[in-house]
A and B are shown apart, each in its own frame.
Chain A
Amino acid sequence: MAGPSLQHPSSTPPNPTEVAQLEEPLTPLHQPLLHESGLKHTSGEARYVDDLPSPPGMALCLVLTSPHAHARITRRDAAKARAVPGVHAILFAEDVPGLNDVGPVIHDEPLFAVNEVQFMGQSVGVVVAESYDACRAAAKLVEVDYEPLPAITTIDQAIAQGSWLSDPHVMKRGDVDAELWKSEVKLSGEVRTGGQEHFYLETQSTLALPEEDGSVRLLCSTQHPSEVQAIVAHVLHVGRHLITVEVPRMGGGFGGKETQAAPFAAMAALAALKLKRPVKIWLNRDQDMAQTGKRHPFMTRYEAGFARSGELKALKLELFSDGGFSTDLSRAILDRAMFHSDNAYYVPALMFTGRVCKTHLPSNTAFRGFGGPQGMAVIEAIMSRAAEVLGLDPAELRAKNFYDDAPRNVTPYFMEVKHDRMPRLWKELLASSDYLARKSAIESFNASHPHARRGLAITPVKFGISFTTSFLNQAGALVVMYADGTVQLNHGGTEMGQGLHTKMMAICAHELGIPPASVRAMTTATDKVPNTSATAASSGSDLNGAAVKVACETLRARLQPVAARLLGVPSESAGDILFAGGKVFLRTRPELALPFGKVTQEAYLSQVPMSATGFYKTPDISYDKSTGRGKPFHYFAYGAAVSEVELSGLTGEHRVRRVDILHDVGASLVPTIDRGQVEGGFIQGVGWLTCEEVLFDAKGYLLTHSPDTYKIPAFGDAPLDFRVQLLEDAAQPDVIHGSKAVGEPPLMLALSVVAALRHAVTAFGRPGAHVDLKMPCTPEALLNAIEAVRSV
């Protein structure tokens, strides 16, 4: 694979104190690093919750689930099941001492269904036994009688029946109807995007260990340990101080373990306290896929007005998402979809209305991008269609509509777009990908090939960074030094394979001037850093990194006077003492350096405190949903991708031939990690848009509940030629060491593949033919679209 050098160029450091700490060759920051657990992941030595040795007396769980999408429960009887040898308990709603609810925002999600079940796979109870055999034997004997009720299983049914989980959210600017009426070209239609299974390699799991005084320690695979702690506490009706949640590591999360680890953790905790023995819950793949929520499917109706020149004049959108049976995070996800319905484009007059539908399906939840991809898919479909209808080059039409100087710099929610990297990034990528020359080569290929057509497209991504619920933008860290100069690093973020710990260790090692090997990232735990936010919204390294830096600065300030004494420097010069390369020295006398360990030893003997906390909150963000106005984001992450595809008109198969990505991660904290996120995010997006199809039947049964019917891309499906570049000289002000968030934005770069496929489809028909390409773009969808343009 062709690729750039991993070395990131030195960036301009934002402030003078960082100048002091930025000794390029002596710091791991901005350097390529191995993932701190990469070798352990590869060898199998990394221990996930289910790999931990079973503590003596441990019991296992099997969730009793509803076989109906919607039904009344008329009777429950577990007497026979309780008599099965090896069964310790069968728990139902009446066994919950506190609140029988696990809804993260709204209390509309019972831990165990009481009178009614609302999706196939909903938990009705849990069997706890000494073996899975005993669990299954007992589960067969549990008698639950149901009276089936009519079920809503699609967005269209929900709209028709007025089944909602939210009030409408409205964003508005200008007189959209008047502007649409005046527009030279009007387009209208409907865009649908499907669900997506998270397919984290490690399924949901928790090990609950009862401790003294009615307390319990949970080893849990979750992106949000503090929320698991809070939910378990209210389910058990105890203070949060009695619940400790620890995350050893996750085998992937992708949003699926932000809220949806909590119900299973609560079942294990409940059983552990009842039985006073360790209890583990673990879902197998089929159970996990059937019982947990997915990416929200969306249906959006649009009316767009364009000038013949290609300029977007007005846009009216009605977004409907499928929330499933309960609210979960659906409202915030819908909000983010609306916040990204502009993508990188200025919309002069607009009205966006969004509403969450209630269906009798698993509760859909966070998934990388959090609604952003669903919003962007709509505007990108509109841009592609406008270019097709107007006969303009899609790249030019897109660029023409980018945000620009005032007044074209205000988003639909009235936030000013600052530090706009898109024009520069677009220009650089068009050049480096050789877009124009390849486009004309493709035209001649398409003119001569008997049955294959190629397509080429470039699409932008502008993604808002911050939790849109403003108070969540906070983080804490606890850095602990030992007398020998080694360090334990605790922070509020969780490691799910994305490389957060690697980045945090690099920041910590940089701030204390020690090698990363002297720093150990500890498992994330609520007894180390309290009240944390989820590791989500791409914000893990921005928020936690800043907190780690603050903690390290406190420690450095305490060590400086100690080092001054050892170096014989007057105490007023202590502020000039630097920490780098494992050494401590006066700025002007680097040759007289002390080993870091000697300074910490002396600090201990001098009774200096050796641990410090750090705290960070993002400044100046807020959003008022009632007016649809505010500044919900700290900044925007940018990227663009050029994708080239080849599509067979005979079989509907396609191949992604080449992808060029230029992505803005600011001054990358660890370029190897960021590159991995860009590649992985893109491929996951390609999966969502081309081969992953979540299908429920009319009864609400998940037809695609295992990898034999649900198809995620494999290595063999990666682009044949995959070129990923990080934008150079791009340090971002007011973000940790000039970096930018990277977790979610690259997923949406995959929309370039859909745009390229549309280009290829158009080449089968007459110019201007209406392309109706459904997502995901399976061979079925592609053949139908080709058939339609041919028959025009």
Chain B
Amino acid sequence: MNAFEWVAPKTTEQVSEAARAQGAVLKAGGVDLLDRLKNNLEAPSRVVSLQALKGLGGIAGDAKAGLELGALVTLAQLAGDARVRAAAPKLAEACWHVATPQVRNMATLGGNLAQRTHCWYFRSEHDVCRRKGGSTCFAQRGDNEHHALFGNGVCASVHASTVAPMLLALEAVLTVENGKSSRQLRLEDFFVPPEKDLSRENVLQPGDVITRVRVPPSRAKTGYLKQTAKESFDWPLAVAAVAVELDGATCKRAAVVLGAAAPVPLRARAAEAALVGKPFGPDSIREAAKAAVQGASPLSGNGYRVPVFEVVVRRALEQALEAKS
């Protein structure tokens, strides 16, 4: 790790200003940033801490009004908060499934969304992969058991957030501030696939700070499943987050989102199409699960996860079917 300047501004405007400098990075909980620094992936000249900001913590709202979540709220707080558990129980569950208590106590919601991929080639300082300006995606021909099944033609990494799929299914909206300006951004528009721009995984520009995450009120029935190799805590083999709105017994709207499947959290549009307009039940669920893995392009070592995704999507939808509302 290199020496760097440490600043901890008290206002968002000052953060933006400090973060616009060349070589500056933002630090919220620091869980991912510290790993990147220790692995020599980045050598920032300035680290801008968000921890002195007032007003970026806090959870407000309820099931009726939706949730207003501060970007610095920790995953542990989200997992344990009664309002979150009532208004978006599967979001609380998704947060609870992240890593270990020590990590959840430090990791923030904003940081979770903005973290970099955990592709082991990306994380290796010895491998200059495409994302780091090289010409090769090593995972495409190397060890790729944990890598992307979809959209892996340019870069086979998977996005590391397992909370994002649930937030996507719930149609969350981010507030991003930069200096005096502030904009609303659908989470769906936040992530950037590698074929669009290899140098980034999200749209944040220098000076941009995620300040709030709004989860609109919803009558959708939800489901969430993170399948791991190890029971206790682990990175995912497959994540499925679903939200299904019903009109009587018929599916009116569906969101089926896959995590650990592609370089960005992925909406499985074919699965959604298989649900909408049909009675929500075992038959449409089975069809949707099948549709979710259509078009997968497995690499040499990750094909075993295609059927796993099918199962995980089906089970997440079954959870939704069982859910009260």
On whether the beta carbons of B311 and A650 are closer than 8 Å, the reply is yes
Asked whether, in the complex, the Cβ of B307 is within 8 Å of the Cβ of A714, the reply is no
Whether A697 contacts B142 by the Cβ 8 Å rule is yes
Interface flags for B118-153 (1: CB within 8 Å of A; 0: not) read 101100101100000000001000110100000000
- B39 located at the interface, meaning its Cβ lies under 8 Å from any Cβ of chain A in the complex: yes
Cβ contact within 8 Å between A780 and B232? no
Q: Closest CB-CB distance, A434 to chain B, in whole Å?
A: 25
Question: Given the complex of chains A and B, what is the CA–CA distance between A324 and B145 in angstroms?
Answer: 25
Q: Is there an interface contact between B120 and A703, defined as CB atoms closer than 8 Å? A: yes
Q: Is A738 among interface residues, defined by CB-CB distance under 8 A?
A: no
Q: Render B95-139 as a binary contact track against A, CB cut-off 8 A, 1 for contact.
A: 000000000000000000000001011001011000000000010
Specify which of B229, B231, B238 is in contact with A655 (CB 8 Å cutoff): B231
B271 at the binding interface (Cβ < 8 Å): no
Selected contact of A703 from candidates B38, B124, B234, B312, CB within 8 Å? B124
Asked whether, in the complex, the Cβ of B232 is within 8 Å of the Cβ of A716, the reply is yes
A709–B121 CA distance with the chains assembled, in angstroms: 12
Nearest-neighbor residue (CB-CB) of A67 within chain B? B126
From B39, B126, B232, B308, contact of A701 by CB (8 A)? B126
In the complex, per-residue mask of B214-246: 1 if CB is within 8 Å of any chain A CB, else 0: 000000000000011111111101100000000
Q: Does B304 contact A (CB under 8 A)?
A: yes
Contact assessment for B1 and A717 in the assembled complex, using a CB-CB cutoff below 8 Å: no
A691 touches B229 (CB 8 A): yes
Assess whether A695 is in contact with B227, with CB atoms less than 8 Å apart.
Answer: no
Taking A136-B1, A651-B311 as contacts, is the C-beta distance between A714 and B230 under 8 angstroms? Answer: yes
Neighbour of A711 across the interface among B39, B143, B234, CB < 8 A: B234
Of all chain B residues, the one with the shortest Cβ separation from A783 is B304
Q: A13 an interface residue at 8 Å Cβ cutoff?
A: no
Bound complex: CA A778 to CA B307 (Å): 15
Asked if A286 is at the interface (CB within 8 A of a chain B CB), the reply is yes
A717 to B38, CA, bound (A): 29
Q: Which residues on A sit within 8 Å (CB–CB) of B233?
A: 714, 716
CB distance from B113 to the nearest CB of A (A): 18
Residue contact A698 to B142, C-beta cutoff 8 Å? yes
Count of chain B residues near A, Cβ 8 A: 33
Which residue of the partner chain A has the closest CB to B141? A698
From B39, B127, B232, B312, give the contact of A651 (CB < 8 A).
B312
Report how far A747 CA is from B272 CA in the complex, Å.
48
A354 interfacial contact with B, CB 8 Å: no
A21 within 8 A of B: no
- Is residue A652 within 8 Å, beta carbon to beta carbon, of the partner chain? yes
Are A699 and B126 CB-contacts (below 8 A) given A650-B308, A651-B308, A652-B308? Answer: yes
A780:B39 contact, CB within 8 angstroms: no
Name B241-260 residues within 8 Å CB distance of A. none
Tell me whether A783 and B308 are in contact (CB under 8 A): yes
A120, A653, A713, A715, most chain B CB atoms within 10 A:
A653
Q: Which of A692-710 contact B (CB under 8 A)?
A: 695, 697-699, 701, 703-704, 708-709
User: Is A784 on the interface with B (CB-CB < 8 A)?
Assistant: yes
Q: Does A396 interact with chain B (Cβ within 8 Å)?
A: no
Q: Known contacts A655-B231, A717-B231; is A779 also within 8 Å of B237 by CB?
A: yes
Q: Are A713 and B304 in contact (CB under 8 A)?
A: no
A638 to chain B, nearest CB (A): 30
Q: Of the candidates A286, A698, A704, A778, which one forms a contact with B229 in the assembled complex, judged by CB atoms under 8 Å apart?
A: A778
Q: Which residues of B contact A708 (CB under 8 A)?
A: 35, 118, 235
Say yes or no: is B181 at the interface (Cβ < 8 Å to chain A). Answer: no
Beta-carbon contacts of A731-746 to B below 8 Å, as 1s and 0s? Answer: 0000000000000000
Q: Is A24 located at the chain interface by the 8 A CB criterion?
A: no
A778 to B227, CA, bound (A): 13
- Measured CA separation A55–B238 after assembly (Å): 50
- Please tell me if A18 contacts chain B, counting CB pairs below 8 Å: no
A695 to B146, CA, bound (A): 13
Q: Shortest Cβ distance from B82 into chain A, in angstroms? A: 25
Chain B residues contacting A715 (CB-CB under 8 Å) are 232
Closest to B38 in A: A286
- Whether the pair A783, B307 counts as a contact (CB closer than 8 A) is yes
Contacts of A701 in B (CB 8 A): 124, 126-127
Which residues on A sit within 8 Å (CB–CB) of B234? 711
Q: Is B22 an interface residue (CB 8 A)?
A: no
**How far is A653 from B312 in the complex, measured between Cα atoms in Å?**
12
In the complex, residue of chain B having the shortest beta-carbon distance to the beta carbon of A718: B232
Q: B118: nearest residue on chain A (CB-CB)?
A: A708
Chain B residue at minimal CB-CB distance from A690: B230
Most buried by A among B3, B231, B238: B231
A133 contacts B by Cβ under 8 Å: yes
Nearest CB on B from A715, distance (A): 7
Closest to B127 in A: A701
Cα separation A120 to B3 with both chains bound (whole Å): 26
- The reply to whether B143 and A697 contact each other, CB–CB distance below 8 Å, is yes
**Chain B nearest Cβ from A701, distance in angstroms:** 5
Chain A residues within an 8 Å CB radius of B145: 780
Question: With an 8 A cutoff between CB atoms, is B205 at the interface?
Answer: no
Residues of A within 8 A of B142 (CB): 697-698
Given A701-B126, A703-B143, A650:B230 Cβ within 8 A? no
Q: Mark B289-311, 1 if CB is under 8 A from A, else 0.
A: 00000000000010010011001
Most buried by A among B2, B127, B143, B229: B229
Q: How far is the CB of A761 from chain B (nearest CB, A)?
A: 14
Closest A residue to B39 using CB positions: A286
- B126 CB contacts on chain A under 8 angstroms: 67, 120, 699, 701
CA distance A120 to B121 in the complex (A): 15
The residue of chain A having its C-beta at the shortest distance from the C-beta of B142 within the complex is A697
Chain A residues within 8 Å of B120, by CB: 703-704, 709
In contact, A711 and B38 (Cβ under 8 angstroms)? no
A650 partner residues in chain B, CB cutoff 8 A: 307-308, 311
Nearest 7 A-B pairs (CB), nearest first?
A716-B232, A714-B232, A650-B311, A783-B304, A703-B120, A717-B232, A651-B308
Which residue numbers of B lie inside 8 Å of A, CB to CB?
Answer: 1-3, 35, 38-39, 118, 120-121, 124, 126-127, 138, 142-143, 145, 227-235, 237-238, 301, 304, 307-308, 311-312
Q: List 13 A-B contacts (CB under 8 A).
A: A120-B126, A136-B2, A286-B38, A653-B231, A655-B231, A697-B121, A699-B126, A701-B127, A703-B120, A704-B120, A778-B229, A779-B237, A779-B304
Given contacts A653-B227, A653-B228, A655-B231, 13 further A-B contacts (CB under 8 A): A67-B126, A136-B2, A651-B237, A697-B127, A698-B142, A701-B126, A701-B127, A711-B234, A714-B232, A716-B232, A716-B233, A780-B301, A783-B307
